């Protein structure tokens, strides 16, 4: 392998004390360098040592804080948006809420509370969560259902879900490993900080064309480093002909996931809301780690820090409106992206803050509410970093011309 000098980054293996690092070392010694995508997948979701698999990584004691953890206002406005769009579709039943990567379950908890207050308690309403982490699924169960590892009858052999319970408001809650396993019906899809954690391939354009950045073991000093592939790799097939950037981050898993969402929305009815930090196809080299709320070298102590990359929303929108060769559906409609500050402001976060402050008798709580509002909406905080993208079936085009998606205009 030819090294990519400007990208080299190393981490010393200290006595092989890191379990995941030992596994990666053995793999690289046996078969050579691995893609950044393979590295991310192992670091984040390795069954025995993956970052997400055995710990609570959210909140002040974790490595990062998400918008739902900051204030109930965020989840409440998301719930209002979902209810509004469900009503715009004619309030169809049965229907389901499907969240991809629910974290602690905080966002879904806020959404369900609003649904209950507004009497959205349809008998055919269900909650389906796509979560690969056994630990986090237990955290979510405790948050949403106040049970942990609830004793249930043995699931049928053909069951696609691996866990089930009942929410505080009576709706069934089920957990799935993959979006493709979720039942087919009218769906309100929600993906908040989900796509940023999906594996990416890193590519660099050289004189000979696109070459992939790989991660290799330097056998001389037992360090991890970036190297370039000598030839084109399958990931380079995702590079578009008109691409002007010299460095790319491509996530095939993200494209496949958004296409599954789009196909379901077209065939079964529904809408989708994607919320994440990202860009419109103009950024490069955003792959990074976070540990204790600080930037962290992705190659140091794998499995102990979050790995992430900014979401390419231009790629998501392209995939959502271009069916794969195996699917038969028309191009869906996408709206956005819009900045989080604009979405929340248009949805009424300022009025919600004033109402909460008016009923607040605790000075510290009032200060916390104002601080949360600032963090969610300030362009220097989360206000401009996070983007909102909405998906609709093509058949709703005329309705949306008359009643545009709230928060997007």
**331-369 tens-digit pLDDT:** 689 999 999 999 999 999 999 999 999 988 889 989 999
**229-273 tens-digit pLDDT:** 999 999 988 887 778 888 999 999 999 999 999 999 999 999 999
Q: How far apart are CA 175 and CA 182, in angstroms?
A: 9
pTM above 0.75, yes or no: yes
Closest CA to 112 of 138, 76, 139: 76
**185-231 tens-digit pLDDT:** 999 999 999 999 999 999 999 998 899 999 998 887 777 899 999 99
Q: How far apart are CA 370 and CA 366, in angstroms?
A: 6
Q: How far apart are CA 54 and CA 52, in angstroms?
A: 6
Beta strands at 209-218 and 34-35: parallel, antiparallel or unpaired: antiparallel
The band of 60, judged by pLDDT with boundaries at 50, 70 and 90, is: low
DSSP string, 49-91: T-TTTSS--BSTTSSB--HHHH-HHHHHHHHHHHHHHHHHTT-
Note every long-range contact of 177-183, with CB atoms under 8 Å and residues 24 or more positions apart, other chains counting: 177/130, 177/131, 177/132, 178/130, 179/98, 179/100, 179/130, 179/257, 179/260, 179/261, 180/260, 182/96, 182/98, 182/128, 182/130, 183/96, 183/126, 183/128
Topology (CATH level 3) of domain 1-409: Rossmann fold (3.40.50)
Pair of tokens at residue 301: 């102590």
Helix (H, G, I), strand (E, B) or coil at 297: coil
The residue ranges of every structural domain in the chain are: 1-409
């Amino acid at each position: 392998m030819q090294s990519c000098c400007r990208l080299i980054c190393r981490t010393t293996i200290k006595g092989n004390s890191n379990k995941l690092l030992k596994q990666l070392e053995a793999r690289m010694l046996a078969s050579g360098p691995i893609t950044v995508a393979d590295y991310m997948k192992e670091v984040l979701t390795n069954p025995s040592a993956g970052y997400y698999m055995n710990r609570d990584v959210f909140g002040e004691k974790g490595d990062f804080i998400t918008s739902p953890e900051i204030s109930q206002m965020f989840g409440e406005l998301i719930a209002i948006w979902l209810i509004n769009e469900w009503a715009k579709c004619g309030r169809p039943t049965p229907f389901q809420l499907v969240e991809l990567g629910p974290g602690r379950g905080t966002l879904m908890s806020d959404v369900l509370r609003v649904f209950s207050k507004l009497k959205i308690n349809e008998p055919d309403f269900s909650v389906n969560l796509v979560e690969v982490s056994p630990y986090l699924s237990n955290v979510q169960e405790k948050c949403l259902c106040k049970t942990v590892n609830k004793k249930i009858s043995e699931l049928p052999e053909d069951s696609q879900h691996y866990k089930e319970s009942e929410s505080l408001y009576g709706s069934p809650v089920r957990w799935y490993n993959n979006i493709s396993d979720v039942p087919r019906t009218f769906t309100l899809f929600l993906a908040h900080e989900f796509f940023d954690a999906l594996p990416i391939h890193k590519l660099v354009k050289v004189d000979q064309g696109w070459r992939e950045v790989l991660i290799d073991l330097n056998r001389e000093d037992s360090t991890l480093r970036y190297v370039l592939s000598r030839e084109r790799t399958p990931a380079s097939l995702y590079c578009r002909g008109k691409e002007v950037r010299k460095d790319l981050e491509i996530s095939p898993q993200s494209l496949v996931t958004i296409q599954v969402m789009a196909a379901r929305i077209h065939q079964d009815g529904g809408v989708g809301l994607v919320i994440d930090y990202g860009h419109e196809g103009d950024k490069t080299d955003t792959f990074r780690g976070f540990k204790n709320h600080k930037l962290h070298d992705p190659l140091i102590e794998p499995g102990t820090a979050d790995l992430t990359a900014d979401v390419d929303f231009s790629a998501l929108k392209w995939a959502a409106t271009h069916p794969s060769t195996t699917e038969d559906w028309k191009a869906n409609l996408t709206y956005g992206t819009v900045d989080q500050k604009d979405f929340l402001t248009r949805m009424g976060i300022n009025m919600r803050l004033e109402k909460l402050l008016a009923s607040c008798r605790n000075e510290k709580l009032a200060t916390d509410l104002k601080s949360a509002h600032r963090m969610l909406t300030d362009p220097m905080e989360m206000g401009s970093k996070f983007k909102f993208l909405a998906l609709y079936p093509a058949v709703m085009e005329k309705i949306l011309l008359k009643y545009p998606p709230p928060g997007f205009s």
